[in-house]
C-alpha cells in the first residue's frame, strides 16, 4: 500500500483527497483513517495538483456538478485524471464522473466511459443492503448499502465490471462497481459500513499514481509553466 522514500527508510503514504463541496465526505475520511491514511478535504481546485487520488462522495449529483463548475474544477480535474490521478466516485460520484446518463440531468463530466441510470432502485425509502462479490477484493462477500443508487447500464471499451447486484424481484442483475485504469466507480456506499476493503483498493490505485514517473514529470512541467 505504501513504499519507501528516497533514503530507503520512511514509508510514504499516497496523498488522497475527498471532495468536500457537498455530500458525505467526512465518512470517507474516517474510513481512510481506519486504514492509516490521513486524507484531506478538497475545497479548492489548486489542491488537485497536490494529491494522488480523489474521492467524489455520495450526495446530490446535480448540486455536486454545479459546484464543480462554479469553483472551476472541471478542466483541472479532467486534466489530472488524464495524467494519471486516481479517482473514485461513489453513488452520486458515479453519476458525476460518467460519460452519459439515461436521465436529462445533470450533465456528467465524462471521466469514465459508462452510461448510468440515476435512482434506479427508487426513492430513499427503497434503500437496501446486499451481499456482493467484488473482483479484486479478497475475502468474504461485501455488505453493500444502496441509497437512491444508480446502476451502470453500459460500459465502454476497457471498463471492467467488478461487481453486480443480484436480481431483485422483477429487476435483473445489474453492474454496480466498475473500473478503468485508476478510475473507480461504485453505486453503493462503502463508507457507511465498517468494511474498509474498497478504500484499501482505492489506496492501491492512488499509490500507483504516486509512483508513476510519467505523471510526476507531467506535474513538474505544469508547475514550471
Q: Is 199 a catalytic residue?
A: no
8 A C-beta contact, residue 129 and residue 145 = yes
Q: Is 129 a catalytic residue?
A: no
Quote the DSSP letter at residue 167.
Answer: P
Active-site residue among 189, 207, 208, 220?
A: 189
Q: Find all residues with CB under 8 Å of 19, minimum gap 6, and list them.
A: 25, 42, 54, 55, 56, 57, 64, 93
Q: How far apart are CA 152 and CA 188, in angstroms?
A: 12
Active-site residue among 28, 191, 199, 207?
A: 191
Active-site residue among 27, 28, 91, 199?
A: 91
Count of CA atoms in the C-beta half-sphere (13 A) of 8: 0
Q: Is 138 a catalytic residue?
A: no
Cite the active site residues. Answer: 91, 189, 191
Amino acid at each position: 500500500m505504501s513504499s519507501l522514500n528516497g533514503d530507503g527508510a520512511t514509508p510514504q503514504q499516497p496523498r488522497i483527497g475527498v471532495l468536500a463541496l457537498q455530500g458525505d465526505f467526512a465518512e470517507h475520511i474516517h474510513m481512510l483513517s481506519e486504514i492509516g491514511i490521513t486524507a484531506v478535504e478538497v475545497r479548492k481546485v489548486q489542491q488537485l495538483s497536490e494529491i494522488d487520488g480523489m474521492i467524489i462522495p455520495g450526495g446530490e449529483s446535480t448540486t455536486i456538478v454545479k459546484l464543480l463548475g462554479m469553483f472551476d474544477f472541471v478542466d483541472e480535474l479532467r486534466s489530472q485524471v488524464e495524467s494519471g490521478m486516481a479517482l473514485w466516485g461513489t453513488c452520486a460520484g458515479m453519476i458525476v464522473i460518467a460519460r452519459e446518463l439515461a436521465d436529462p440531468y445533470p450533465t456528467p463530466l465524462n471521466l469514465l466511459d459508462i452510461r448510468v441510470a440515476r435512482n434506479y432502485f427508487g426513492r430513499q425509502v427503497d434503500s437496501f443492503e446486499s451481499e456482493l462479490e467484488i473482483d479484486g477484493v479478497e475475502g468474504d462477500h461485501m455488505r453493500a448499502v444502496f441509497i437512491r443508487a444508480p446502476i451502470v447500464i453500459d460500459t465502454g471499451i476497457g471498463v471492467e465490471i467488478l461487481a453486480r447486484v443480484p436480481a431483485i424481484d422483477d429487476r435483473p442483475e445489474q453492474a454496480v462497481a466498475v473500473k478503468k485504469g485508476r478510475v473507480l466507480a461504485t453505486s453503493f456506499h462503502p463508507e457507511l459500513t465498517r468494511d474498509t476493503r474498497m478504500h484499501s483498493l482505492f489506496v492501491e490505485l492512488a499509490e500507483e499514481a504516486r509512483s508513476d514517473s510519467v505523471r510526476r514529470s507531467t506535474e513538474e512541467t505544469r508547475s514550471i509553466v
